[in-house]
Amino acid sequence: MRLVLRLAGHELRLLTSLVRWVLRRPRRVPGQVFGYARGQGAVMSGFAFVCVIETFTMSVLLRGWPAVHAVVLVLDVYTVVVVVGLHAASVVRPHVLEADALRVRYAAHVDLRIPLAAVGSVRRELRTGRERTPGELDVAVGHQTSVTLELAEPVTHVTFLGRRREVRVVRLHADEPGLLAAALTQARNAPSPLPDPLP
């Protein structure tokens, strides 16, 4: 039941992101935003185009079997919606640098909040296609990450299917990795605000 709810929530976030993307109304979030979808736009568009061609082809081939045609048509249209929704979610759900944390996100299925106090070091580092290592999380776009965070203390990442795992290294992609690394470094080094004086 929990898995069904997680899948339903994921689909709802995709559809909501698609609507926001079409209406050009990204959710307002407190903090600096850093996009990561620029490099995948052409690939996702190509994938969606192939799905549309497949939908048309199957419609022609299955005209003699109305029931099968209807089922395949629904599945094909749903696939196109999911592909476009994934890109839309990547656009309207960017990484967010908040006052006390960095939210690392990818589309509708990754949203990891890393407290600034847990960040040990941050560096701009381009890495492509690598094996997964225990304790590390790669939030890649196009099999590529461009910023590496080494954590002073582990944070808990909840996977798409609900499994919890502790991570000490997080690699992510950003369209402007230098700006993200610099902003995160500055936020980590900023002095803590003084407490309000007692009345």
pTM of the model: 0.81
pLDDT in the model for residue 199: 52
Distance CA 156, CA 131 (A): 20
Quote the domain boundaries for residue 75: 2-30+38-92
- Number of structural domains the chain divides into: 2
pLDDT in the model for residue 84: 87
Residue 194 inside a domain? The answer is no
CB 173, CB 36: distance < 8 Å: yes
Residue 199 inside a domain? The answer is no
Distance CA 86, CA 22 (A): 13
Question: Is there a single domain that holds both residue 73 and residue 147?
Answer: no
pLDDT in the model for residue 194: 46
pLDDT in the model for residue 122: 95
Question: Is there a single domain that holds both residue 126 and residue 182?
Answer: yes
Q: Positive or negative CA dihedral for 28, 31, 37, 38?
A: positive
pLDDT in the model for residue 109: 86
Task: Give pLDDT < 70 ranges for the chain.
Answer: 3, 26, 130-131, 191-199
CB 70, CB 128: distance < 8 Å: no
Residue 118 inside a domain? The answer is yes
DSSP for 137-164 reads EEE-SSSEEEEEEEEEEEEEEE-TTS-E
Question: Is there a single domain that holds both residue 66 and residue 152?
Answer: no
pLDDT in the model for residue 26: 67
Determine the residue type at 190: A
Question: Is there a single domain that holds both residue 102 and residue 173?
Answer: yes
Question: Is there a single domain that holds both residue 44 and residue 126?
Answer: no
Question: Is there a single domain that holds both residue 46 and residue 119?
Answer: no
Question: Is there a single domain that holds both residue 182 and residue 100?
Answer: yes
